[in-house]
Structure 1
Amino acid sequence: MATLEHEANGEPIIDGDGGEGGVRRRDFINVAALSFAGVGAVAVALPLISQMSPSADVLAQASVDVDISKILPGQAIKTSWRKQPIFVRNLQPKEIAEANAVPLSELRDPETLAQRTKPGHTNWLITLGVCTHLGCIPLGTGEGENRGEFGGYFCPCHGSQYDTAARIRKGPAPKNLVVPPYEFSSPTVVKIG
């Protein structure tokens, strides 16, 4: 049999074996209100958190496979990765020799061709096709396009010129064309990203 005791405010407290309905009504209302607030906070936080994650089209382009089997020496193609242009160039032995002959002291952003390509694949130069000055797309991948004085790429917006290793040689661009992360998944396929 439960014994009732009275608090200072006059409400009954049950002594443990559950008489008179167990928990006080005020405690139940507090627990219910906190539970409701917690569910509401989760309902508000989930959409906010999910909007910060990448969209489906960005996730689909997290990496892209490029077939390089049809790119002849001296040719280049333009493709896309993460909504940015990518230049893939198959360098001729003459272009490789020209790039290697340039003293690093003459370069604004000194990098060797070997640093910009993968070992065993020095003829494949893969860069973002975005000028490091103000983000224009340089010319030099298409047949007959202006490649500038150094035979690489020419930015028509402000005249930046890149050599055959896509290193800045002349003009306002501060840096070389960026080399994205990539790997050769087979002798004829490059995975960018």
Structure 2
Amino acid sequence: MADSLADSASNPGHAGDDPSRRDFIHIVAAAAAVGGAAAVAWPLIDQMNPAADTLALASVEFDLSKVELGQEVTIAWRKQPLFIRHRTPKEIAEAVAGDHADLKDPQTDADRVKAGHAEWLILLGSCTHLGCVPLFGQGEYGGWFCPCHGSVYDTSGRIRKGPAPLNLVVPEYAFLNDKTVKIG
């Protein structure tokens, strides 16, 4: 044993005693381990991305000329109902008058529609309480009524009564021209 200690002391180029070589081996081993972990984790993470058919539904264009004044159309968007309502001047006036009411989720009518397009109200058709689909024209505020638990929304889709905590959701949308809207 004394001979081997003497040999390593007399031979400073021996692989076991070179700290820079040992550090290099540790760095390479750690890099290989990280690379291997990433190679295993990437397919698991990537499979959580939405499928191509779901991405295709991420946005939808709708022809507004199909909706007469006072009508509402319900379309499917992202597997949810979407209300497109062509509001009458009376409905708009009622919505604006409700801006100063005592609201659970305060929001003005102007915040819920695009400037210059107040006659168009676009909402996700899912009650914010438990996701039921509210019915139009059956609530006491002229808007929507959720028959499941009694939430009542006004003509701007704002919660006025019942257990729903929030207004009906206004999705991102933009008017491409006077006849077409792009949602999403």
Does the TM-score normalized on the shorter chain lie above 0.5?
yes
Contact 2:95–2:109, Cα closer than 8 Å, also in 1: yes
Q: Secondary structure at the match of 1:94?
A: helix
Counterpart in 2 of 1:85?
Answer: 81
Contact 1:116–1:125, Cα closer than 8 Å, also in 2: yes
Choose the corresponding residue for 1:123, options 119, 122, 132.
Answer: 119
Whole-Å separation in 2 of the counterparts to 1:62 and 1:154: 27
Q: Is the counterpart of residue 98 in structure 1 residue 89 in structure 2?
A: no
Q: What runs of 5+ residues in structure 1 fail to find an aligned partner?
A: 1-6, 14-26, 141-145
TM-score, with structure 1 as normaliser: 0.75
Contact 1:104–1:111, Cα closer than 8 Å, also in 2: no
Aligned-residue RMSD, C-alpha? 2.8
Larger Rg: 1
Counterpart in 2 of 1:173?
Answer: 164
Note the alpha carbon deviations across 1:125-172, whole angstroms, 9 max, x for none: 0011111111111112xxxxx521111111010011111111111211
Give the letter aligned to residue 192 of structure 1. Answer: I
Could you tell me how far 1:57 is from its partner in structure 2? 2.3
Choose the corresponding residue for 1:159, options 133, 141, 150.
Answer: 150
Q: What runs of 5+ residues in structure 2 fail to find an aligned partner?
A: 1-6, 14-21
Counterpart in 1 of 2:69?
Answer: 73
Q: Tell me the percent identity.
A: 58
Contact 1:163–1:169, Cα closer than 8 Å, also in 2: yes
Q: Aligned residue pairs: how many?
A: 169
Q: Is the counterpart of residue 188 in structure 1 residue 179 in structure 2?
A: yes
Could you tell me how far 1:58 is from its partner in structure 2? 2.1
Note the alpha carbon deviations across 1:10-49, whole angstroms, 9 max, x for none: xxx8xxxxxxxxxxxxx9xx79x95976764444123112
Choose the corresponding residue for 1:139, options 135, 140, 144.
Answer: 135
Counterpart in 2 of 1:3?
Answer: none
Whole-Å separation in 1 of the counterparts to 2:39 and 2:103: 55
